[in-house]
Structure 1
Amino acid sequence: MRHRPLGRSGLLTAPLIFGGNVFGWTADEAMSHRLLDAFIDGGFNAVDTADVYSAWVPGHAGGESEAVIGRWLKASGKRDSVLVLTKVAMWPKRPGLSAANIEAAVEESLRRLQTDYIDLYQSHQDDAETPQDETLSAFDRLVQAGKVRAVGASNVSPARLKASLDVSTASGLARYETIQPKFNLVDRDQVEGALAELANAEGLGIIPYYGLAAGFLTGKYRSEGDLEGRARGRTILRDYWNDKGRAVLAALDEAAAAVGASPAQVALAWIMRHPSITAPIASATTVEQLDDLMGAARLDLPDDIWATLDAAGR
């Protein structure tokens, strides 16, 4: 399994990154630790989380996912085998990208993660109220101190990302090496076009989230009845229950039958082969689901099948 560079950071990731939003939420701590063991033992090496995970859950305060990962790192002794990716700026307790907030937030994340350093520290969303040189200077100090190996961004426009790269170049500061947008077979506008062109020109890695479109691309939602009682049912109906979405599912079914794989594996393999993408982020709540997702990295989609899927999602 070929590992891929995270921008120009010198860090390498396997072609699939585990999305840690489920840890301590839809996967309890014991299951989360089983999933992490299975993922790393399966040859994968990068786990993405954020300080805000999972503050949206009743009774949660935020920081739960990082804390679960931290206890696993301590118990497993696998710190040297994993890239830990986390984020700052979206948690109401630690909002924005001011230097003071970044400096406080990183210390809290390090304590929860029970580690001396974060491999990739990402701005979770843009902060137009804070000058970019202040934000990037704060990140640079963390890199110089060895608390962070590299920095990345998420949920930022190509124009703002380019401006931040220009600030880093002009001032000799650590730069964003990766960008984390939404991207999958049916959500493509955030990547294809200006962002892909910028990433290619600047040598940035693109590590998109929502690789399975809230589960829609697994093929388990085939009728409105399948969505009844589902927390994300309304989102799926609004965003994907249309002619394009149904055409993509039909193409996935055909491709999956042709290569002997599941629709989820095919959907992720399509992203992995996309010329602009470094590695998609995806989550699982059972070892069986995870085994299925990991199989995508070993699936080689023929040119004609990749092209058919690509056309269906446009």
Structure 2
Amino acid sequence: MAAVSLLICDDSSLARKQLLQALPAGWSVEVSQAATGLEALERIRQGGVEVLLLDLTMPELDGYQVLAQLREERLSCKTIVISADVQDEAVRRVLELGALAFIRKPADPVHLHQTLASLGLLNDLPALVDRSKGESIGFRDAFREVVNVAMGRAAALLARVLGVFIQLPIPNVNLLEVGELHMALADAARGETLTAVCQGYIGGGIAGEALLLFHDSEVADMARLMRRQNYREMEMLLDLSSLLISACLSGIAEQIEVVFSQGHPQVLGQHASIDELIRLNSERWKKTLAVEFSYSLEGHDIHFDLLLLFTEDSVELLRRKLAYLMD
């Protein structure tokens, strides 16, 4: 049996590396890689790609759009979606668009093997895929993918609670000075007043604060989505913050093998400007590893921003925790 032509499409070099290492031993396969949906489509149009392992959350052209384009152009390719977005609705949509299977990130080698076998894609020829360590992965890319997985799991939980589909962009990971953090928060605020809920966390020497920013114009709509009568806005914000922050931190902790202890969520400012929030917290946010993630609720004009602000001292510890992924 001839080698199977396999294309891995993911904007994260870490995710592509993890998939290479998860491929079944003994599988005769020729692997190519694409970092964008546009690149993947161009490669498939050239012909010869039999199997596509496809991410969903990518810049320019996401996985949903790739699947839709494959269908529109009638491009023959067996597609398995491998994504951190594990919402039930995400799974339903990709299968409706023609994907043959869905696997959650990071892909479990046993599950991947079983899925490929069920689709009749495995054979008994010697493996041609190179499973050496390959390229070294940078810290930001490695940590961004860890956060991406955690955020996807948190979104799935939030989607079940609210009964909506959560649209997930790519998280931003940057080491910021206080002035740069100010600009990032100002951009998140989009010129509006906002309410911020903060919750500290620490585990394995890694510490920081999670900051959830709610735009005042959207708070009442969020309360209605929670479907509780006489639900006070502050109570809703604290409950939602606790749920979302806990889910995100749990997803990160599981991947880097630490246990985070969390403080009680507290409201930093209600109907406050971003300048006031910065002024109140500038001492503890002098330099921080900032992870920014914006959630949007499909069908609703509701957006809120989650920032994980890790202390400068935590960066080296995180590097050590991620070394096994980066080498």
Q: TM-score, normalised by structure 1?
A: 0.32
Q: TM-score, normalised by structure 2?
A: 0.31
Instruction: Decide which structure has the larger Cα Rg and report it.
Output: 2
